[in-house]
Amino acid sequence: MKTKTNQLGRSKEMLLIGLMITMSVILGFMVHDIYNDWKLNEVSQEEIIEYKQCNNLNLEQTAECLKNYISTFYNYTIRSDKERTIEDIKENGGDCYDYNKLYERLGSGLGFDTYGYKIALGDTFHRIALISDETGYCLLDQLHKINCFKVKIDE
């Protein structure tokens, strides 16, 4: 009887050890992914002082670079919807309309196709930008996380 009890206790110990090892491996992968995301987005904002530094990058890198560049002067300020110069936005801030238009102009200047979208949200609106090329597209929404999508076209 004692042997069966010892075997059952030993089985529980082995199961617990296996579970702890599995959780450690999962936690390790999670920390690794978080660290890699942080390192990927770590481009020093001080380094990106001119948007032309975003030139000759792939679509995703360009989207991140533009966001990092805009973050160096981003100042959310509600303003009337009209085209503004980048200098005006740097000095006086802007809202989703202004940053949407800025992403469109900068992305276009770097050779990407650009689009702006006005989204109805009840009684108000929000604007986002999209930049694209033959590989896919990226959604840019002020300083929010960029969402990029690869497109595979079957021929």
To the question of pTM greater than 0.75 for the whole model, the response is no
CATH number of the domain that residue 76 is part of: 3.10.620.30
In the block, tokens 């020093």 appear at 44
Q: What are the strands of the beta sheet with 124-133, ordered from one edge?
A: 113-121, 124-133, 136-140, 147-150
Mean per-residue pLDDT, 122-149: 95
Tally of domains within the chain: 2
Residues 60 and 83 in one domain: yes
Residue 138, number of CB atoms within 10 A of its CB: 23
Phi, psi of 13 (to 5 degrees): -65, -45
For residues 36 and 58, state if they share a domain. no
Domain co-membership, 57 together with 111:
yes
pLDDT class of 27 with cuts at 50, 70, 90: low
Residues 88-112: pLDDT tens digits? 999 999 999 999 999 999 999 999 9
Question: Cα(20)–Cα(27) distance, rounded to whole angstroms?
Answer: 10
The answer on 58 and 5 residing in a single domain is: no
- Same domain, residue pair 30 and 98: no
Query: Is the Cβ–Cβ distance between 89 and 72 less than 8 Å?
Result: no
Looking at the structure, tell me whether residues 15 and 81 fall in a common domain. Answer: no
- CB atoms inside a 10 Å sphere around CB 76: 13
In the predicted model, what is the mean pLDDT of the chain? 82
Q: pLDDT for 34-74, tens place per residue? A: 544 444 444 333 445 577 789 999 999 999 999 999 999 99
Q: Are residues 85 and 31 in the same domain?
A: no
Q: What is the pLDDT of residue 22?
A: 67
Q: Does residue 45 fall inside a structural domain?
A: no
123, pLDDT greater than 90? yes
Full residue range of the structural domain in which residue 29 is found:
1-40
